Structure 1
Amino acid sequence: MRKIILIVAVLFIIIVSLVFILRERTLDPDNLKTLADKYQRKEKSAADHSKFPELNRKFNSPQEVTETCISCHNERHKEIMQSNHWNWEREEYVEGRGIIHIGKKNAINNFCIGTEGNEKSCAKCHIGFGATDKMQGYSDSTNIDCMVCHDNSETYVKGSEMGGYPDPSVNLTLVAQKVGSPKRTNCGVCHFFGGGGNNVKHGDLEMSMFEPTKEVDVHMAIDGANLQCQACHETKNHMMKGRVYSLSSMNRNRSECEQCHTSTPHEKNILNEHTLKVACQTCHIPVYAKVNSTKTEWDWSTAGKLKDGEPYEEDDSLGNHTYLSIKGSFKWGRNLVPEYQWFNGNASHYLLGDIVNDTSKPLVLNTLHGSYSDPESKIIPVKVHRSIQPFDPVNKMLIQPKLVSDKSGQGALWVDFDWQRAAEVGMKDVNLPYSGKLSFIRTEMNWPVNHMVSAKDKSVQCVECHTKNNSRLAGLTDFYMPGRDANSFVEFVGKASIILTLVGVSAHGLIRILISRKKGKK
């Protein structure tokens, strides 16, 4: 009997010790009111630009506006020209490649595929003017577009396929006199419309985020904290915190929830312990694309069809394009449950000219690295966009097609609707070979979901993951999860512990009863 009691005691000590080893230090919850007061306090500009005589004039070009900005805000243009927003690339260390430059100039995506050769259209979301093929002209500081980020009149808009120039209808004088700190409208005009339309790419960044309610996003809610983007994406010298892993590769300069909420924000210790391996977003963003649909699949192989010699489109009941002659077929989704992956902040990317040897499975264009055994990894929510895009089966590389042109006959798919010619011209533009053979392969892209944070009472519930049936984390199989998984050894130890505990308690009670009776007889 003593041996049984000793075994039970040892098991109890081991279990308690493990709990305390794994348990993080418990802190009091953040004072949310203090945080809200801090970020809701709006700093009013000390300068009224409408009173500056330099701005009370007619501007004949947007470059004249920039020259005027630089005349006062001297040296700022040098900061901007070192930024990722300007260069569309950054220096990164990529495992297997070493130190390289990576960005929109050489990374392939599975939406509009790539910028090379299509700069005049893509530059609608560049912070400069006058983009031409190969981004010529972007060594001139007067081509910096100060207005696109600092316009507070909400009248500034860039023209379509104009190389980043503003639409001719824009009143440059009005905009120049109404500049200030960036607002969600400034950031969103590009980031909410990536991929050619509202919420096409990210799934968690779209028009509803201009003025969201608490049901959409608790941080940016106009009836809540009403935060601007730079509350999280802190900026110093025009360098912004935050990474978009369609292009980024390294675990640095990330914008994270812990900046405000710390790693132990919960009153219950068991929830704080989850933050060791589970990112905040995993529980607090149960669904994305809450208001408007996001694109989930894109089939380029069907592009180019015409009706009566003219391009056409087809829409679903919500107004989403399901077919466009210039782009192909699409599928959309709304109120989507994310997929989940391990992520340590590092990623690998398919770059222009990379060889693809295995086409039997989808090519992942941005692989997110991580695993349960990696101490830096956490489970994050992800939107996975799936596509079928052009591929050269002889040279074994993805094709960057020519998409945009001012006129017909130059090989642009969106004008001439000729896949062969678009592939030939596009690959020539990026100085890569084209065999003349055109096929299509399946690809995937991972888009971490970080926005559209729900109120805490709408967060993911324990049983949604810790269940054998339809667990949210069913796809992550490299670790044991209580309630979801069955492990014979763990089950045996658990049952044995319960049985031994019952036996020990019963034996202890029985012994005390027997001893008590024995003493009573005396």
Structure 2
Amino acid sequence: MQKKQAGWYFAVFGAMIFGGWAAASTVSTADHSRFEQLKKEFASGPEVTMACLSCHNEAGSQFMKTIHWTWICPESGDGKLGKAGKSLNNYCISIPENEARCTSCHAGYGWRDDSFDFSKEENIDCLVCHEQTGTYKKYPTAAGYPVDQPTRFPASGELFEPPDWSAVAQSVARPGRANCGTCHFYGGGGDGVKHGDLDSSLFYPPKELDVHMSEDGGGFACIRCHTTVAHRISGRCYQTPAVEEHKSLIEDDLTSRITCVACHSSSPHAETAKLNDHTDKVACQTCHIPAYARGGVPTKMLWDWSEAGQLKEGRPYKVAGDLGRPVYDSQKGVFEWAENEVPEYGWFKGVIRNTLVTDIIDPDTVVGVNYVDTKPSDPNARIYPFKVHRGIQPYDAELNTLVFPKLFGPKGSGAYWSDFDWVVSIQKGMASRDLPFSGEVGFVETTFRYPITHMVAPKDQALSCGECHVREGSRLAGISGVYIPGRDSGGPLSKAGWMLTAFSILGVGLHAFLRISGWGGKK
């Protein structure tokens, strides 16, 4: 057997074994209901954590080095990049002075402000990632804690019950889709709000929605692709190229990298090999994710903070839209939503840059709160699909910087959602990080880009050639730096080609005429 062929057999065999393990990812190697340490009556989450760490004695120190704990990108070096750094977005903008609300999705207990002690292992929440009863819920405004008595959340009416600490502790296993989705499907304050390709429809998706996650497809849990070593779950801060050489799994062992080529290689089309000619310029996601927000859950496309603050009879109000989501909220402004949305496309090598709260901006332009600066000529660049969320958000109109506003808090605290005063709200948020604020508030148009990589459709629902290789209405109409047959037909290159063809035919004809004439004269 040739070495290359043996390698491919090994790859397929390994993928089958690993895929089977991943599909059953919540199966544990131990029955935790039999552990004496977990049979006691617990009064709180931190007590459960200390019981966990009595056996898993390296887990605490491991977890404290991860982005799920620090909310700082480990690749940023200077600690500025991340929710807990100087990053922001154009949704709820930032966490300073809003910690009690934002950290309901932190894998810890008690992060209410900058006094939170990141060095205490008992502050780690093991259960949010590992419990399997489905009954464990953090209360949305309690800094990562569940409730200690039945409580109904005013904004949604949802009833939260105190956990049965012993039951949830004894249920623990490897993280399942529900553990990850509890936070990642609801980022930005609601189901499907942020990413567009992550929402509650992926808890139990049909094959048409996601061929990898569906039980009729691969049946993968999240950790099948987001592989984990020492509690560091593979994910991306987008600070380094995703893949520097597009090879196969066997050639360079990309199991810890969440890329398509890690499993499928850069030549995945055995039946239609011509399609492999695209992989040096086109990302797999571009063809295999024809649209996002396809599972019946709308995603937010625009958030205009400049319209917030309008009241009716002195009270805030909301206006519902056609998709069952608000299109106006006095606390937050104007929204636009979409389903089955066609992505925007751009060159991308896996690196995204961020505008920090300390960076000078040009308010007369659309500011990329994050942005891609990949050149088409970069050998690692591929044409990639994005969700682009558009915002209109506050900024310091004298210093020309974006700002951290305090949004969450009771009336009289300076929180915008309670007091509707942008100046006081921004003063509070910026002061919490010792950042300057002039007191002058303006609003600037912004964008925020999310690479689309979930909701992979079956291959028979991938884009057809005519979606891109067409003169009018090509999905890649705005992509420069590459010649696309069909889209670019009739342009200067095509005209030059036809002229060369015409000259070639004329030359051949003239040559033939001279040969014939010369041959006839000699005879």
| C-alpha deviation, 1:414, in angstroms | 1.4
2:83 alignment counterpart: 104
Cα offset for 1:500?
A: 3.2
Q: Which residue, out of 321, 327, 333, partners 2:332?
A: 327
Report the counterpart of residue 139 of structure 1 in structure 2.
119
- 8 A Cα contact 1:349 1:365, kept in partner: yes
For 1:397, the aligned partner's letter is T
State yes or no: 1:397 paired with 2:401. Answer: yes
Question: Partners in 2 of 1:368 and 1:72 — Cα distance?
Answer: 44
Using a 3 Å threshold, how does the CA distance of structure 1 residues 394 and 52 change in structure 2: closer, same or farther?
same
Deviations 1:48-82 (A, max 9, x none): 11111111121111100000000001111111000
Q: Which residue of 1 aligns with 2:45?
A: 62
Which secondary structure does the structure 1 equivalent of 2:302 belong to? strand
1:437 to 436, 440, 443: 440
Higher mean C-alpha displacement, 65-74 vs 82-91: 82-91
Residue in structure 1 matching 2:390, options 378, 386, 393? 386
Q: Alpha carbons of 1:91 and 1:230: their partners in 2 closer, same or farther (altered >3 Å)?
A: closer
Give the 3 Å change call, closer, same or farther, for CA 482–432 of structure 1 in structure 2: same
Alignment of 1:471-486 (within 5 A): 471-485=474-488, 486=490
Task: Give distance in 1, aligned partners of 2:176 and 2:515.
Answer: 74
Cα distance, 1:498–1:118 mapped onto 2, change above 3 Å: same
Q: Is this contact kept in 2: 1:29–1:266, CA < 8 A? A: no
Which of residues 304, 322, 339 in structure 2 aligns to 1:299?
304
Distance 1:336 1:364 in 2: 21
**Map 1:279-428 → 2, pairs under 5 A:** 279-291=283-295, 292-356=297-361, 358-405=362-409, 407-428=410-431
What is aligned with 1:12?
none
Q: Could you say which residue in structure 2 is the equivalent of 1:149?
A: 129
| 1:491 pairs with 2:495 | yes
Q: Percent identity?
A: 43
| Match 2:210 to one of 205, 212, 217 | 217
- SS of the residue 2:393 aligns to: strand
> Normalising by the residue count of structure 1, what TM-score does the alignment of the two structures yield?
0.86
Distance in 2 (CA, whole Å) between partners of 1:440 and 1:374 is 35
Pairwise CA distance, 1:501? 6.4
Alignment of 1:70-81 (within 5 A): 70-81=53-64
Contact 1:347 1:368 in 2 (8 A): yes
Is 1:195 the counterpart of 2:191? The answer is no
Tell me if structure 2 keeps the 8 A contact 1:250–1:345. Answer: yes
CA contact (8 A) 1:312 1:324 kept: yes
The runs of 5 or more residues in structure 2 that have no matched partner are 149-161, 243-255
1:510 and 1:319 map into 2 onto residues whose CA distance is 78
Contact 2:302 2:335 survives alignment (8 Å) = yes
Residues 117-136 of structure 1 show CA distances to partners (whole Å, capped at 9, x for unaligned) of: 11111111111001021151
Contact 2:281/2:383 (CA < 8 Å) preserved in 1?
yes
Q: Which runs of 5+ in 1 are unaligned?
A: 1-24
State the secondary structure of the residue aligned to 1:451.
coil
- State which drifts further: 412-421 or 294-303: 412-421
Instruction: State which drifts further: 180-189 or 253-262.
Output: 253-262
Distance in 1 (CA, whole Å) between partners of 2:426 and 2:29 is 53
Measured in 1, the distance between the counterparts of 2:12 and 2:221 equals 17
Letter in 1 for 2:336: K
Give SS of 1:46's match. Answer: coil
Confirm or deny that 1:87 pairs with 2:70.
Answer: yes
Task: Give the one of 124, 127, 130 matched to 2:107.
Answer: 127
Structure 2 counterpart of 1:265, from 261, 268, 285: 268
CA–CA distance in 2 between the matches of 1:463 and 1:428? 54
Matched residue, 2:35: 52
Change (3 A) 1:100 1:122: closer
Given that 2:346 and 2:383 are in contact with CA atoms closer than 8 Å, whether structure 1 keeps it comes out as yes
Quote the Cα distance in structure 1 between the aligned partners of 2:196 and 2:9. 30
- Structure 2 CA distance, aligned partners of 1:361 and 1:469? 29
Please say which structure displays the higher CA radius of gyration: 1
For normalisation by structure 2, the TM-score amounts to 0.86
Q: Measure the CA separation in 1 of the matches of 2:169 and 2:103.
A: 21
Deviation at 1:156, TM superposition (A): 0.9
Q: How many residues align?
A: 482
Give the aligned CA root-mean-square deviation in angstroms. 2.8
SS in structure 2 of the partner of residue 472 of structure 1? coil
Within 1, Cα distance between the matches of 2:493 and 2:446? 40
After TM superposition, the structure 1 = structure 2 runs for residues 164-183 of structure 1, keeping only pairs within 5 Å, are 164-168=144-148, 169-183=162-176
For the Cα contact (< 8 Å) 1:36–1:225, is it kept in 2?
no
Contact 2:405 2:426 (C-alpha < 8 Å) held by counterparts: yes
Report if the CA contact (8 A) 1:117-1:430 is conserved.
no
Is the 8 Å Cα contact of residues 29 and 265 (structure 1) preserved in structure 2?
no
